[in-house]
Amino acid sequence: MRITIQQTVDLGELPLKADQILKEHAAQLSTILNILETLDCTNPEKFVEQLDFVRRKMFIVDSGLEECSMLMNGYITATTQNDEIHGAPLNEDAQHTMTEVVEKLSDLKEKLNEQ
């Protein structure tokens, strides 16, 4: 039975975690390849048994690769959002909108001070 576990890591550690998972599954793929290269079709029962074993292991590898992909997509999203929040350059439309907002806030402040 496969279960899902969760961990808490710093954002900057995500690429290292993904790399670690990737390397573990690359090693498993190497083992799977060795098994595939030694399959013996002259023994059908053993052939089917080993092939089924390989298929189950490949599913586990695929799940691990999916995890790596999700980690890195999350990392990309988080770092992009972090850049947007903490001072990445705004595009021209966003800069124009921000200028308008600042001007409107200044006008509102003046009106409130007049009262």
State yes or no: pLDDT of 103 exceeds 90: no
Instruction: Give the pLDDT score at 104.
Output: 60
Q: What is the mean pLDDT of the chain?
A: 80
Q: Give per-residue pLDDT as tens, 68-94.
A: 899 899 888 888 886 666 655 545 554
- Contact by Cβ (8 Å): 13, 71: no
Number of domains in the chain: 1
User: Going by C-beta distance under 8 Å and a sequence separation of 6 or more, which residues neighbour residue 65?
Assistant: 22, 25
Note the helical H segments in the chain: 14-37, 44-85, 92-114
User: Considering the domain boundaries, does residue 56 fall inside one?
Assistant: yes
pLDDT surpassing 70 at residue 27 = yes
Using only C-alpha atoms, what is the Rg of the chain? 27
Q: In terms of residue numbers, what domain contains 99?
A: 11-114
Mean pLDDT of 21-37: 92
Identify whether 1 is part of a domain. no
The HSE-up count of residue 48 (CA atoms within 13 Å, CB side) is 2
